[in-house]
Structure formats: C-alpha cells, structure tokens
Structure 1
Amino acid sequence: MITSNLLETFNGYIINARTKHLIYMLEDIRTALMQRLVVKRVEMEASSAKLCPRIQAKLEKEKKLAANCTPIPSINTIFQVNYHLDSVSVDLEVKSCTCRKWDLTGIPCCHAVASIFFCRGDAEDFVDPMYTRENYLRSYAGSIPPLVSERHWPLVTSPLIPPPIKVGPGRPRIYRRKDPHENPKKPGRLTKHGVEMTCTICKLKGHNKKTCPNKDKAPSHPLHKKANTSDASTQHGA
C-alpha cells in the first residue's frame, strides 16, 4: 500500500507532463524536480523546528489527546495507560505501544505522549530520527543541473548509422501467422466463432431464421419500409 501510494502521488505530480511528447515530458519532470529540491530545502532551512512540519502537526494532535490518558507507572520506562474505557501498555525504552501506532509510524501515540509527560520528557525526542530536520535537509541536499534548449546543443558531424541487422538462424518465414479463427477459404477474414446469433423472427438468441421453430407462424409477406413510406405519402397527398 505504501509503494502504491507513493507511485500514485508521483503520478499525479506529473499528470500534465504525461500528455506531452516523450522528450518534452522528461524535460518537464526534470525541471519540476529540480525546482522542488530547492523549494523544500529553503523552507526547512528557514524553520528552526526540530521535526518536519507535517510530523510536528501530527504530534500536536497526539498531545491534545494525551490529556484524556491516565498513565500508571510499572517501572521507569513501562506504563499502563488508561484511555476512556481502554487500557494499554507503553514501553518507552523499546518505543512500543499496545495500539501499535507508535510501532508502525514512528510517531508517539497519545498513550506514549502521556507517559512521556509523566516522566517530564519531551515528546519530540521520542520521534523516529527519520523525521528530524537534519535528515529532511539531507534528503533534499542534492541538486539537478540545468539543461539548455535544443538550439544550444553541439552539432554532431558524424552520421547516425542504424544498428546492424541480426539475422537469426533458420529459414526466414514466408507466410504470416494466421489467426486461429481465420477462415481458410477467405484469407484475411475471420469466422463467426464466438458470435451469438439472434433470430430476426422471434428475436431470441442461439439460432437464426432458418432454424427458428416459429418460422411457420411468421407472416409470409412482411411490410417493407418502402411500402409503408409510399402509402404514407399517398395518404398525405390525398
């Protein structure tokens, strides 16, 4: 799920570039990433926070929920936390909680935050190091060099030779591969394999009008459209 979400996020990020030609699509993606690296790095350098902005916002929500938790210490690092009608176990040394939220995200849950506050600690110190400001700046420390347009590209004097043609072993094929349902008497035309017939008399599927069991009940001389239109025109003229 995480891999799919990352893929769909990047796919939406380049959705406008995907409609262009391959070379121009790659150029738009390169330009967007080149600018993104600089923007994200400048924003984090201007901030003095210890954590990334979104991680800090999630931690603040857990701090508000921690007001409803009642930690009961077992030892200095293990607590039983009562939250409404629920009771969980928190281990500050292992950084684990029974609700598994801290284990999966690396951000202390409200039970862990309540236990940290009980020890008079700072919740930001118990966040996984991958969410810190230093690692964020290290992730965006790289840069993509600029690229000039086609008019500034160097001219190539050597001719472009196509790759050599490699002939495989064996006799070359003369006739094309035929479709398994192709009509042998009429090359290039397919048979009616898989087509379900519809009777023009009873409108039922599975047979045609020649094998219809109700063909004797059908009118012998059905009215045609031309006859109907001629009769209508005659009545209109009258």
Structure 2
Amino acid sequence: MSEMRSLSESAEGWLRDKDPRTWSRAHFSTKCKSDLLLNNNNECFNKIILEARDKPILTMLEIIRRKVMTRLVSMREAAEKYPGPLCPRIQKKLFEIVSQSNNIWPVYAGNEKYEVDCGLGNKHVVDLLNSSCSCRKWDLSGIPCKHAVSCMQLLAVSPETYVNTCYTVTTQLNIYSHLINPVKGPIQWEHVRDMEPILPPIIRKPPGRPKQTRRKEVGEERKSGPKLSKIGQQANCTKCGKPGHNTRT
C-alpha cells in the first residue's frame, strides 16, 4: 500500500475503502481450495446458452436441460479416461512445482514441521500435518507449494498424496455420477386439466436488430478496449468526402 501511495494517492485511497478479503491474497479465506480469481465460469455458461436466451421459456429450458445433460456425460467419460490419481491440469501443475523445488533446503523442526530456506534470508514454515505453508499458496489452492514439496522429497513421499481431494479423479467421478433423466417430447406431455390456458405475453418488437451479447455492467472492461468518445472529431461525408455533413443530411 505504501508503494501504491507513492504512485497514486487516489488509487491507494480508493483501494483502502475496499474489503481486503475481496482483493488481497493475504486475507483470502482458505476454506475454498481454488486459485481462480476470475468469473470465467459464468462467462462460459452465458456463451453456451447464447442460442437459448431469446427463445420462449419452455424452449429455452429444454435447450439448457439438454446441454447440461450432455455436458455431464462428456465430463464423466473424460474423467474415466484420466490415467493418474489427479486431474491432468493439476498433475501438470504439480510437475512444474516439483521442478521448482530443487534449489530449496528444508530443515526438520519436529512434529511434521519444517523450516524451509529459500536463500537470501527468505524462509518459510511448512506444516505437513495441517497442510499449511507460510506462503499461503498451499492453504489457498490445496496444491502443495514448492516449499512443501521439498519437505516431501526429504521424506521420500509422493506429493500427490498431499493434494486436496477436490482435485482427485475419484472426486470428479463422484461429482459427475449424477445424471439428468431424459424427457419425452412436448407431444407426449400430459395435458393439465381444470386450468385456464396461459396466454403468451404481448410481444413488442423494438426497432433494430436484437442484441445477442450480454449487457455490460458499469465500469466493466470490454474485450475490444474502452469505447472512445467522438466529441471533437470531424466527420466527412462518405459520398462526396466533404466535411460538415453525412450521407443522410
């Protein structure tokens, strides 16, 4: 915060009013074992249901139901083909962490606690019993950091056994073991009696082409960059090329 204040006092003041548990890794909760800081899950779901968003309510729900049904099957079949005990991306990330732990020297302190020397006065405390490290990477993500891996190599144990169970193939199979039962078509649906028919709402078609993309929130960054203002710019007519008017005027 002191370094930020030296660069911009207004930015430092704006950030100080925010709850540090929402933006500072030092204050993140360790209950949820994840290192995701983005909202990609919602973005991916919005992209998947893009074709269903402008449909009537029953059609929209049927499209989403079928997409989720096939998604569960594909993820379950993919998890059954995983070769090791961990998911492939987690296994690849763990291999990179193991290669980074070669130049670290742990010292055993007793009760499964280690003092890990990283050089130049940089030391961390690793507690294998509680799956914790003072760098907090292991606590936040559930994947052993390089300091913890160096202690595991000293004990000649596999780092895969210390990875949180949420990343194991067994957990993935349990997650996708449930299924969405198939549904008969609307022609075979049972008709509801003793009920007045629900008429569709009056549709008001606004002018122009209907929008397909999601409405951006205030201050949300666009992929194509910020929208530039046209104030002060001089437009030329596309027919004659002269300034001061356009093709319509």
Q: Normalised by the size of structure 2, how large is the TM-score?
A: 0.58
Alpha-carbon distance, 1:136 to partner: 1.0
Alpha-carbon distance, 1:109 to partner: 0.6
Which among 48, 53, 56 is matched to residue 21 of structure 1?
Answer: 56
Counterpart secondary structure, 1:74 = strand
Which sections of structure 2, spanning at least 5 residues, go unmatched?
1-21, 23-35, 199-249
Which sections of structure 1, spanning at least 5 residues, go unmatched?
164-238
1:151 paired with 2:192, answer: no
1:128-178: CA deviations, max 9, x gaps? 12222211111000011112322333445x353279xxxxxxxxxxxxxxx
Structure 1 residues 155 and 106: CA distance shift in structure 2, 3 A = same
State the percentage of identical aligned residues.
38
1:165-180 mapped onto 2 (5 Å cutoff)? none
1:107-126 mapped onto 2 (5 Å cutoff)? 107-126=143-162
1:159-211: CA deviations, max 9, x gaps? 53279xxxxxxxxxxxxxxxxxxxxxxxxxxxxxxxxxxxxxxxxxxxxxxxx
1:43 paired with 2:51, answer: no
Determine the structure 1 residue equivalent to 2:128: 92
Paired with 2:96 and 2:79, the residues of 1 have a C-alpha distance of 21
Determine the structure 1 residue equivalent to 2:8: none
Counterpart secondary structure, 1:112 = helix
Task: Count the aligned residue pairs.
Answer: 162
1:18-74: CA deviations, max 9, x gaps? 232222221111111111111111111122311122221221221121123222222
Question: Which amino acid in 2 is paired with 1:147?
Answer: V
Determine the structure 2 residue equivalent to 1:223: none
Counterpart secondary structure, 2:50 = coil
Paired with 1:128 and 1:114, the residues of 2 have a C-alpha distance of 18
Question: Which amino acid in 2 is paired with 1:42?
Answer: E
Paired with 1:127 and 1:149, the residues of 2 have a C-alpha distance of 45
Which among 95, 105, 128 is matched to residue 60 of structure 1?
Answer: 95
Q: Normalised by the size of structure 1, how large is the TM-score?
A: 0.61
Counterpart secondary structure, 1:67 = coil
Determine the structure 1 residue equivalent to 2:137: 101
1:77-125: CA deviations, max 9, x gaps? 2112122432111111111101001011111011111111111010000
Largest Rg, 1 or 2: 1
Paired with 2:188 and 2:84, the residues of 1 have a C-alpha distance of 44
Question: Which amino acid in 1 is paired with 2:124?
Answer: V
- What's the Cα RMSD here? 2.4
